[in-house]
Amino acid sequence: MTIAQEVRILLARLGVAESAYTGGTMPSFSPVSGEKVADIVVHSADETGKAIELSQAAFREWRLVPAPKRGELVRLFGEELRALKSELGRLVSIEAGKIPSEGLGEVQEMIDICDFAVGLSRQLYGLTIATERPGHRMMETWHPLGVVGVISAFNFPVAVWSWNAALALVCGNSVVWKPSEKTPLTALACLAIFERAAKRFGDVPAGLAQVIMGDRTVGEALVDHPKVALVSATGSTRMGREVGPRLARRFARSILELGGNNAGIVCPSADLDMAVRAIAFGAMGTAGQRCTSLRRLFVHESVYDTLVPRLKKAYESVSVGSPLDTSALVGPLIDKAAYENMQKALSEAVETGGIVTGGKRVDTGHDNAYYVRPALVEMPKQDGPVTKETFAPILYVMKYDDFDEAIVDHNAVGAGLSSSIFTLNLQEAERFLSPDGSDCGIANVNIGTSGAEIGGAFGGEKETGGGRESGSDAWKAYMRRATNTVNYSSALPLAQGVSFDI
Ligand code: NAD
């Protein structure tokens, strides 16, 4: 069976109408073999506008449904995801090139956020605030916001949407999703699964969750539409630089989840067995195509000559191959452009004095599929390509002797997403987590940079955009806050002792 044939079978099982992915103008490829698997029907500007209008109408109804009842819809969605986990996970592997456990893991992440959102639907707590005026009560309430636009990247084709959608829906919003043009099929599948849940729920307004297909121009239409209250945009920093100001111009809200250039520090006391495993997963897992992938490593000079040879061995022996029919740990890059970017960065690294292990293309018999052996590059210092994100499995390794300087170098890049330290020394660990330690949104101790759980707020600082999604109090970004003061006395005292007697 070809991949294209398997895709059709999976999409039929997942309930996706054939008309959505045949005869359209946007070809869709599988990075596993490079073959074309579908022709996606895209949305015109007019259709995008109509989808947003429908979403606005759906929001008006949905905001009046009690939050715990809204949670029931998300609970049913989670149930449907559980039932179709293997099919959707497999489609993620085919479309994004993830190994099976990661394809399934992404769907598990969707299930987890649904569970979280269901609980949250009974906990959208406001505050009661002490007021200075007698006979008054002051409080803070949270209300639904409006149409939430979601723009997502290819590398987490389903989880990122669900982080946003599950929270947005329990918060009383409607959702319009522009998935990556590189991963449209999994988006169609998610919507079909959502529709099953909506049917079981019964009374869901038409257009409560929609998907709009196309390239960045469709994303731009979503960003510019006056009826979209919030856009949660996940992708490159380049994309965020365009989207952020456009949203700011019309005072719309944004959650920006952009690129990372994540680093780890390996200290003299580190458990090196643990560090090797964590570094290998963080840097080579998902073929280096996670926003949280480990890209820079600072190793103390006292352990450098022990750790780096062990890492090199892991790089030379890690299995690279098809995520569908081998037990490989490293699947393909998404496309040719990703491969070329990787080779360009490696050439620049060599010009900057780097020594490269790995990085060459691995022949799998598919001319249009791009498999590479992950690259470990020993660098004399943090310079050239080390300072920017290349979305490929390249790990730059540098030696340090002074902990303070290692922290300065760690923070001396544009992005601020994820970070980790490997140490058994309490002072180093706590310093790394302190105000003058890591400047990232995620800072870990004795854990790699990637593989976050949904319970924490996810996102990063600086060029990563500052947005937060998923757990903790990230839900607040999907609601509007109102401060209410009620006077239950028969007087009208003014705040700050102001008098205005007429
Ligand atoms: P990308 O920026 O090329 O595209 C992401 C999405 O943005 C796509 O849907 C694309 O169509 C859309 N888009 C691009 N330009 C746009 C514009 N001007 N207006 C509106 N929409 C636009 O990113 P990619 O190659 O798909 O993904 C890889 C990047 O995403 C990496 O930089 C990675 O670090 C980042 N990423 C970040 C996170 C995070 O949570 N911080 C998560 C996943 C990926």
**Per-residue pLDDT tens digits for 241-256:** 999 999 999 999 999 9
* CA 256 to centroid of ligand 1, rounded, Å: 10
Tell me if 281 sits within 8 A of 451, measured CB to CB.
Answer: yes
* CA 206 to centroid of ligand 1, rounded, Å: 28
pLDDT at 159 over 90: yes
Pairing, β 415-416 against β 394-400? unpaired
Ligand 1 pocket mutation pick from 216, 246, 293 by most atoms within 8 angstroms of CB: 216
**Per-residue pLDDT tens digits for 104-115:** 999 999 999 999
pLDDT at 477 over 90: yes
Q: Across the chain, what does the average pLDDT equal? A: 98
Ligand 1 pocket mutation pick from 156, 212, 222, 236 by most atoms within 8 angstroms of CB: 236
Ligand 1 pocket residue status of 156, Cβ below 6 Å: yes
Tell me if 56 sits within 8 A of 63, measured CB to CB.
Answer: no
Q: Which of 307, 328, 288 is nearest to 450 (CA)?
A: 288
Ligand 1 pocket residue status of 390, Cβ below 6 Å: no
Q: What CATH architecture does domain 262-445 belong to?
A: 3-Layer(aba) Sandwich (3.40)
Ligand 1 pocket residue status of 416, Cβ below 6 Å: no
Active-site residue identified among 80, 181, 220, 257: 257
- For the whole model, what pTM was predicted? 0.97
* Average pLDDT score over residue span 296-323: 98
Ligand 1 pocket residue status of 341, Cβ below 6 Å: no
* Average pLDDT score over residue span 198-210: 98
**Per-residue pLDDT tens digits for 420-451:** 999 999 999 999 999 999 999 999 999 999 99
Ligand 1 pocket residue status of 235, Cβ below 6 Å: yes
* Average pLDDT score over residue span 78-85: 98
pLDDT of 459: 98
pLDDT of 77: 98
Share of the chain above pLDDT 70, in %: 100
pLDDT of 172: 98
Q: Where are the domains of the chain?
A: 3-258+465-483, 262-445
List residues bridging with 178 in a β-sheet: 151
pLDDT of 238: 98
CATH of 3-258+465-483, one of 3.10.25.10, 2.30.110.10, 3.40.605.10, 3.30.70.360: 3.40.605.10
* CA 230 to centroid of ligand 1, rounded, Å: 17
ipTM: 0.98
**Per-residue pLDDT tens digits for 318-371:** 999 999 988 999 999 999 999 999 999 999 999 999 999 999 999 999 999 999
* Average pLDDT score over residue span 395-416: 98
pLDDT of 326: 87
Both structure tokens of 171: 């918060």
Ligand 1 pocket residue status of 315, Cβ below 6 Å: no
Write 127-136 long-range contacts (CB < 8 A, 24+): 129/483, 131/485, 132/495, 133/485, 133/487, 133/493, 133/495, 134/489, 134/491, 134/493, 135/487, 135/488, 135/489, 135/490, 135/491, 136/485, 136/486, 136/487, 136/488, 136/489, 136/493
* Residue 72 falls in the annotated catalytic set: no
**Residue 291 CA, closest ligand 1 atom number:** 34
pLDDT of 302: 98
**Residue 257 CA, closest ligand 1 atom number:** 41
